Amino acid sequence: MYDLLQISTTTIGIENVNSVNAREIHGYLEVKTKFTTWIQRAIEKYDFEENVDFMVSKNGKQKSGSGGHNQINYIVTLDMAKELSMLENNVKGKETRKYFINFEKQAKKVITSQSSQIALLQETLNQLAITDQRVTTSEEKLLKIESNMRIENWQQKKLEQAKNFKVYSLAEKHGFKDDKSMIKKLHSRTWKALKNRFNIPRYNELPICEFENGVYFIDNLTLNDII
């Protein structure tokens, strides 16, 4: 029966619906009446509407003793298929109708399951978005806190060490290591260059988040940068 009555998705009117070829129902029920007469009689009896309950299509050629001609198919909705199944009022008709009803039940279960999965996925995505927002907010708060924090004593000492090393390296390189006045000037000018670079009134007010940049800045100063 599953092979004889194939259910597929078809656009009838403006909707995509589960549908059956009425010829397959006619054949499975072993109806004696000619298909065209049988289907047209059913349409008139139950007031079925074209492009609402069924659609008409031509599909290839049907072999006959007098030659070939286009076969007219009626693709019907499952609701109409259930009505057609009961026309013969026999065991096969009841079996066919039950088959369509069971199919619809299973389809509804699948849709319900998919809807639940989609809802769960959406909830998960919403939670991830909230978590991401919280993380972003926390990161922003942390950056704000760090931008307000000033370097600690050990970092001040490291800056001083970097400054002293730079001053005496330049003095050695440019031949005034014995010129105390020039060396004193270099010490002062190095701090001034650092304060100007980071826009701070005193070197020990360097933001803690800029500490590494401050050390790097001093390490790469040249005599022209200072003087």
- pLDDT tens by residue, 21-50: 999 999 888 888 999 999 999 999 889 999
107 and 179, same domain (yes or no): no
Q: For residue 85, is it within any domain?
A: yes
Let me know whether 108 and 153 are in one domain. Answer: no
Token representation of residue 197: 């670079």
The pLDDT of residue 218: 93
> Does 167 lie in the same domain as 108?
no
| pLDDT computed for residue 66 by the predictor | 42
CA–CA separation, 81 and 46 (whole Å) = 12
The total domain count for the chain is 2
Would you say residue 57 has pLDDT above 70? yes
Give the domain extent around 196. Answer: 148-226
pLDDT tens, position by position, 104-161:
777 776 666 566 666 666 776 777 667 666 656 766 766 666 667 888 899 999 999 9
Asked which of 113, 139, 171 is the last residue of a domain, the reply is 113
Please determine, for residue 103, whether its predicted confidence score (pLDDT) is greater than 50. yes
Is there a single domain that holds both residue 84 and residue 161?
no
Specify if 35 maps to a domain: yes
Local structure of residue 150 (DSSP, 8 states): B
